[in-house]
Copies of this chain bind each other. A is one copy, B any other.
Amino acid sequence: MRLSRYFLPILKETPKEAEIVSHRLMLRAGMIRQQSAGIYSWLPLGKRVLNKIERIVEEEQARAGAIQLLMPTLQPADLWRESGRYDAYGKEMLRITDRQDRDMLYGPTNEEMITDIFRSYVRSYKDLPLNLYHIQWKFRDEVRPRFGVMRGREFLMKDAYSFDLDQEKAVESYNRMFVSYLRTYKRMGLTAIPMKAETGPIGGDLSHEFIVLAETGESEVYCHKDFLEKETPGLDVDFNGDLTPIVEDWTSLYAATEDVVDRADFEASVPEEKRIVARGIEVGQTFYFGTKYSEPMGAKVATSDGKEVPVHMGSYGIGVSRLLGAIIEASHDDNGIIWPVEVAPFHVGLVNLKPGDALTDPVCEDLYAKLEAAGIEVLYDDTDNRAGAKFATMDLIGLPFQVVAGPRGLKDGLLEVKERKTGEKEMLTVEATLAKLQAALTL
């Protein structure tokens, strides 16, 4: 993408309303724009990152056997009356009346609707296990939306729902999502720690919050330091096999949020030098809640001996839009964002220091074409801005690599290649630049 034809509205000043660094950086880097309290437009750079996060989530959900569908944003109130949550949900639920005076709502979550879909079609244990998920915009009318996309009102969530014949099978489904979550976050450069959690309005008795440690996290968490060194299940993990050992390994160390922590227990089970008490950002939550929805809503299946039983369910959320904030909180410096390669909006920023120059133009055009042909995504700064502004923008938007083409270096046939994360710079020929980037960015 040529910057001269792109839409990247960088802000020079730090917006006053932004209290935390991810919110500030997303506004400054032209990634989002607030349209109303807690409601954002995703400007092109933000949208690209959102897309990448969605793709990773989709890939890992598919790997774990979840099947994608898409439920609408608006739901009929009647479904929620069946489960009893319509009155219970409170003011966070955005209630809407349509032109025929029907009670509707903007879905804050989808347990009711997916249960309705399930009961409409599935009759037999033979069709189980089943895990259906979607990635859809939700709305929760927070009293005090803040922290940018971290606590917005309109937000993008991945929510999966598992259906099983009994608790034992349901726990197998739960474990598949649990392991899939570890992989999902790791691919985004995050270490997410599964912590015992309260189940809240979803209900149920088995639940984990997946927490990323960050100074600006909304809640206090208590956990064992060894989590930070744990190895994430690799590509070879068999989702058809027994995942219990992995789940046990990841739940054997103490980890709890402030809502459920038992301090005495924490201190008894974690040696002092291994204790972490820190702030954390919740980036996902898993629930097993049995027949909480299937029972009142009549979602039953026939067993192998012909009985009808309510199906056992779980639900599994990932805060897709919030993840952008969490990644930035975990990965930035004073100059701006530092994107992990897999979620970076572009892989390389190519800076032409003197557009129109007989040396820089052809080299940049050639390199731009070759990188793109190699599947490397390039933001090519071909604008007339001054060098200092170009460098500052590249640092701010945090692409993994910067390549700078100036008349001086090119007299000797050299480009400057900088890795954003380390700040390391090298002067390389065009060929060496291409080789280095291809080696580093082969995903």
Contact = CB atoms under 8 A, between A and B. Distances in A.
Interface stretch (A72-80, A395-403, A406-414, A431-439): A72-80
B96 A69 contact: no
Contacts of A39: 72, 74
Given A75-B36, A76-B35, A99-B141, A42 B69 contact: yes
A304 to B, nearest CB: 14
B102 A72 contact: no
Interface string A115-148: 0110011100000001010100101010100000
Nearest to A51: B68
A65 interface: yes
Contact of A7 (B44, B69, B71, B104): B69
Nearest to A156: B70
Given A67-B7, A69-B41, A154-B72, A141 B47 contact: no
Contacts of A113: 35, 41
A200 to B, nearest CB: 19
B68 A44 contact: yes
B9 A121 contact: yes
Contacts of A43: 69, 117
Count of identical protomers in the assembly:
2
A98 interface: yes
A33 interface: yes
A40 interface: yes
Contact of A44 (B47, B65, B67, B76): B67
A379 B427 CA distance: 51
Which of A5, A50, A74, A122 has most chain B Cβ within 10 Å?
A: A74
Interface string A322-335: 00000000000000
Nearest to A70: B42
A94 interface: yes
Nearest to A78: B36
Given A7-B130, A33-B117, A91 B99 contact: yes
Most chain B Cβ neighbours within 10 Å, of A5, A99, A153: A99
A391 interface: no
A6 interface: yes
Contacts of A65: 5
28 contacts: A5-B65, A7-B69, A9-B120, A33-B117, A35-B71, A35-B72, A35-B75, A35-B113, A36-B76, A36-B104, A37-B102, A39-B74, A41-B69, A41-B70, A41-B117, A42-B69, A42-B70, A46-B69, A47-B68, A47-B69, A47-B70, A48-B68, A50-B70, A73-B73, A74-B106, A74-B139, A98-B141, A99-B143
